[in-house]
Amino acid sequence: MRLTILGGGGFRVPLVYGALLRDRAEGRVTHITLHDLDGARLNAIARVLADQGAGVPDAPSVTVTTDLDEALRGADFVFSAIRVGGLEGRAADERVALAEGVLGQETVGAGGIAYGLRTVPVAVDIARRVARLSPGAWVINFTNPAGLVTEAMSRHLGDRVIGICDSPVGLGRRVARVLGVADPARARLDYVGLNHLGWLRGVYADEGSGTGAGAVNLLPALFEDESALTSFEEGRLFGAEWLRSLGSVPNEYLHYYYFNRETVTAYREAKQTRGAFLRDQQARFYDGMAERTSAEGALAAWDHTRAEREATYMAENREAAGAGERAADDLESGGYEYVALALMRAIARDEQATLILNVRNGTTLPLLDEDAVVEVPCLVGATGARPVAVSPLTGHEAGLVAAVKAVERCVLEAGESGSARAAVKAFALHPLVDSVGVARRLLDGYRSAHPGLGYLRSGA
Ligand code: G6P
Ligand code: MN
């Protein structure tokens, strides 16, 4: 089994490799090809993997390349985790939006639109190459904004591309734990929405035993229990009272919507934005790695940087909400790489696992057309991922999902046709951008900040 990782010099690649090293079952990945545009980053990550794999029998072999077509040929799975424009680009996405007084965030609001506009043409190019060079491969997309990018790629790869995110899994795991479900992986989660815009509306497990996918919805009991409500991340972030009002548990990214004013203020007042912090932190890591001559100690250096990164994840939101530190067990990884691996296994071994994934809607949500990529629980086996039934969206959920999907469609149109008008429309229609004038200035600001947006033509 051959896995190709695009963005192979990326910081999270060792998480995936670590999960692969622990996988001893038949049909596991035996070879990894890391692809990246940046050879120095590739070498740095290859050293960490060498240190990780030292002494592990049958560790998957690793090759590196900067040639995309070479990386894609012969792949069974292609894992795409690229960052177009790098962390410098992420910092600019945040800065330009915040200067206009609107949210600048990696995937949400104006920042997410700018990131999408940069990424769609690149993702489409990758999808076309996969279709030509490795038509039988499954593409697992983690490239953000993941829902939008998965939809762009699905126009060329159909259901062969599946988008992943760790946030719904983390949410499900945290809530199931609070509800006393013994095996969260076996509970049926009624979760639905778009990537980074979803709600958990039900947790179905056998009452008492806490295992199996029984018919009892345990979630309503959570809203009766004040101390349980504030004992997990989303509860502290949104507050017990707001969760009761919603009657669901929102994805943590909805904090940017429900507390937009507070997060924008916190982001503007922060010493550094998240993107700028990570740009500097990661540069120190990669520079340090470039000075190394061997793999020894590379894993420890990586792990130190990883711990700091995780501890500061969404720190401004938590501060704005008075939520305090993130709980220690939320810092344990097992999110992102867990979903990627569980998905690969379920396809390769026809395991019939249920995972929350980004796939084409089909007839799941009547509100959206069949090709719209949504984030829903899916049954996964050898033939891919098929959405399972979820309860209907409430009026509020439907409103936000429809509004944000309309924005995504404008980004896709701009990315595919080069229309600057569609790009302005994307910014202007977003619920977190409050004026068409602001939208126009945002596009101007982003065009000066990002050479990669030069493809957008005015008057078109
Ligand atoms: C979660 C989200 C990802 C996002 C990441 C940002 O894992 O699911 O989509 O990219 O957080 O974390 P960072 O440490 O880069 O701010
Ligand atoms: Mn995500």
Judged against a pLDDT cut of 60, whether residue 76 lies above it is answered with: yes
Q: Is the CB–ligand 1 distance for residue 455 below 6 Å?
A: no
Asked if residue 107 is part of any domain, the answer here is no
196 labeled binding residue: yes
pTM: 0.97
144 Cα nearest atom in ligand 1:
9
Cβ–ligand 1 distance for 306 under 6 Å, the answer: no
Q: Is residue 431 part of a domain?
A: yes
**Cβ of residue 167 lying under 6 Å from some atom of ligand 1:** yes
- 389 domain residue, yes or no: no
Answer whether residue 439 is part of any domain.
yes
Query: Which two three-digit tokens encode residue 176?
Result: 């199931």
Task: Indicate whether this complex's ipTM tops 0.90.
Answer: yes
The answer to whether position 426 is within a domain reads yes
State in Å: Cα 191 to ligand 2 middle.
Answer: 15
Task: Determine, yes or no, domain membership for 219.
Answer: no
**210 within some domain:** no
Catalytically active residues are 166, 253
Is it the case that residue 232 has pLDDT exceeding 90? yes
Looking at residue 210, what is its pLDDT?
52
In three-state form (DSSP H/G/I as H, E/B as E, the rest C), the secondary structure along the chain is CEEEEECCCCCCHHHHHHHHHHCCCCCCCCEEEEECCCHHHHHHHHHHHHHHHCCCCCCCEEEEECCHHHHHCCCCEEEECCCCCHHHHHHHHHHHHHHCCCCECCCCHHHHHHHHHHHHHHHHHHHHHHHHHCCCCEEEECCCCHHHHHHHHHHHHHHHEEECCCHHHHHHHHHHHHCCCCCHHHCEEEEEEECCEEEEEEEECCCCCCCCCCCCECHHHHCCCHHHHCCCHHHHHHCHHHHHHHCCEECHHHHHHHCHHHHHHHHHHCCCCHHHHHHHHHHHHHHHHHCCCCCCCHHHHHHHHHHHHHHCCCHHHHHHHCCCCCCHHHHCCCCHHHHHHHHHHHHHCCCCEEEEEEEECCCCCCCCCCCCEEEEEEEEECCEEEECCCCCCCHHHHHHHHHHHHHHHHHHHHHHHCEHHHHHHHHHHCCCCCCHHHHHHHHHHHHHHCHHHCCCECCC
Q: What is the rounded distance in angstroms from the CA atom of residue 77 to the CA atom of residue 344?
A: 8
User: Which region among 115-129, 197-211, 358-372, 373-387 has the lowest average model confidence (pLDDT)?
Assistant: 197-211
Q: Which ligand is nearest to the CA of 163?
A: 2
- What pLDDT does 459 receive? 76
Provide the number of structural domains found in the chain: 1
- What is the pLDDT at residue 60? 97
Residue 109 above 80 pLDDT? yes
- Domain boundaries, position 431: 395-453
Q: What average pLDDT score do residues 262-273 get?
A: 95
165 is in an annotated binding site: yes
Pocket test for ligand 1, best of 313, 326, 337, 338 (most atoms within 8 A of CB): 313
Within a domain: 180: no
pLDDT for 209 equals 52
* pLDDT, position 24: 86
